[in-house]
Structures are given as structure tokens and as C-alpha cells.
Amino acid sequence: MPRLSLVDPATAGPQAKALLDKVERALGATPNMMRAMAVSPAVLDAYLSYSGSLAKGRLSGAVREQIALVAAVENSCDYCYAAHHVLGERAGVSAEDLKTSGSAQASDPKTRAALKFAKAVLETRGFVGDADLEEVRAAGHGDGEIGEIVANVALNVFTNYFNSVGRTEVDFPPVALPGAPAHS
């Protein structure tokens, strides 16, 4: 059962309504996570701004979605795992990579290195080893991309934790989180 309230876009205050309308235009829907964030327009605005800024970076939308899947698995976030399957498919992630990305696997070696690095960042809370950096660099990621991997991990930790605290009701087609019981 959800533990945070949701804002109804039809009755939202002006600031929340403007942000939720932006979400609706971009996604064609207003997901429960964003409706919960809109209770504090500052939270939703921060999320949209951070996410929007990262969308202008060097990492493709597909790689960003795959990093989100890694974070969802590492943080046992059913909501994010389901959401990023849909968003990953929209971003061009193959069906096979959607299945394996949460385990830091991908068909493309450069993407696989990014996912492994993202997983290392999560597992070590940022205290990655020199070998982790050497491996991601050897796959062709420069310091700018490494910074973006860390930034995407941080963004997804925020959404994972937000949805875990709120027990946000999954409003995407459910996808079983590998190796973890469902949280409700």
C-alpha cells in the first residue's frame, strides 16, 4: 500500500500542474512516482531538472536506462525496474539487453563496462578501486562519461529510495525483479 500521497493533475496547484503537464507531454502519461513527487513541486522540479540535464550529456538514452536498471536491481526497486524496462525499450535497448542490464550485462562491450562501473559505484558507495576506473577507461569511457555514469547512479538512487520510502504503486507493466522478493 502506498505511503505517500499522489497529486491529481486535474486539481494540482499551479506549480505542480505545470510540472505534471510537462511530464504528460514528454511521456504521454503521468506516472505515480511523479505524482507523488509533485506533493512538493521542488522535489519534482529537482528530479526533472537533473534528469533533463543528464539527457544532454554524452551517454545515450539507452545507456542511461540500462544504468537505471542496474540501480533498480541493486536497490531492490520494483517500481524503477518496471518503469525503466518501458523507458529502456523506448530508448532502443534490445529485449535481450533489457533482461540482462540489471545484472550489469550488455551485448555491447562499452555499455557493459559502463554498467559494471555503475554497479561498482553502487556496491562501494562510490569508493571504487583503481581497477574499476582502469576497466571503464579501457572500454573507451573518458572522464566526462565516467562523471555522467556516477551522476546517473545518483539520480537513480534518489528515485529508488523515493519509491521505496513511498511504496509507490507500480503503474507500468510489472517486471519481476531478479533475485529479490517484491516489496509492497
Q: What is the pLDDT of residues 134-152, one digit of tens each?
A: 999 999 999 999 999 999 9
Taking the C-alpha atoms of residue 140 and residue 27, their distance in angstroms, rounded to an integer, is 32
Length of the chain, please? 184
- Which residues, at least 6 apart from 53, have a Cβ–Cβ distance to it below 8 Å? none
Q: CB-based burial of residue 22 (10 Å sphere; 0-12 exposed, 13-18 middle, 19+ buried)?
A: middle
- Count of CB atoms situated within 10 Å of the CB of 48: 16
pLDDT, position 1:
87
The 10s digit of each residue's pLDDT in 24-68 is 999 999 999 999 999 999 999 999 999 999 999 999 999 999 999
Q: All domains of the chain, ordered by start, with CATH?
A: 14-54 (no CATH), 61-166 (1.20.1290.10)
Q: How confident is the model at residue 181 (pLDDT cuts 50, 70, 90)?
A: low
Q: What is the pLDDT of residue 158?
A: 98
pLDDT at 178: 87
Give me the chain's average pLDDT, please.
96
Q: What is the DSSP letter of 103?
A: G
